[in-house]
Amino acid sequence: MGTRAVYALALATPWAHAPKLPYSYVEPTLQGPQTRLDRRSRLVLRTVALTCAVLGAGLLALRFGWPAVAAMAVVLILPGNAEGFARAWAEAPLLLAFGLVAVSYGSRWFPVVLGVASTAKLTAVGLWPLALVRSAHGWRSRVLALLATVATWVLLTPPSWYRGGPGLLVTLADARVAEYGAGQSSSGVLFLPARYFWPFELALALLLATWAWRRRQPTRPVGGRRGIATLDVTDGRL
């Protein structure tokens, strides 16, 4: 719902207009000219998507420094990722969600921010176990922090109000399997778009970049030579 809200706000501006009918991959009656955006509206939505992506990347850089810059560069170089952030898909809002989660980590507001960020895309729900990490928020009860995350997500996801709250996640997962299984796959097996893999690529690149950055940091010399402590015999000090 978070991604839909972002683009709905963009469509509510005077510079964009929503199509007359919604588009569906599986319903032929919901395909055609009446389900397409005009050129000006596409430009507005893509501008919003790029803004979300830039903000998300900036927040990651604010949190992790140069390793995040290097990791984002790697992700953008990999095929298909740059295009995904430039389209009105969930990828750019998801990147913004990751940035918000990163900068709020360690604050008492982290569980709430995590719940808000999880509305961007189902992928972000995979970050919910972070609410069980005490250092992520400082709450006395980690279970209460997780419940706050889930409650925030439920509050901001109206379909969950009549689908069993977090039980809606099961319905969403089933819908994704059906959509990318028999729906969009001609072979009948589960088909996953390439844009679904960039969060894992980003996480791996960030881990490697952080490791490399820490490796290259110089160690402070102790005594006369680097890494070797020397004893001053005159006064007995190290």
- Most confident range (mean pLDDT) of 22-31, 76-85, 163-172 is 76-85
pTM (two decimals)? 0.84
pLDDT of residue 236: 43
pLDDT of residue 220: 56
pLDDT of residue 17: 87
Strand partners, 47: none
Using one digit for the tens of pLDDT, what is the confidence trace for 184-225?
Answer: 545 556 667 778 899 999 999 999 999 999 888 775 554 544
Displacement of CA 49 from its chain's centroid (Å) = 13
Average pLDDT score, the chain: 85
Displacement of CA 70 from its chain's centroid (Å) = 17
3-state helix, strand, coil in the chain (%, to 5): 65, 0, 35
Using one digit for the tens of pLDDT, what is the confidence trace for 114-133?
Answer: 999 999 999 999 999 999 99
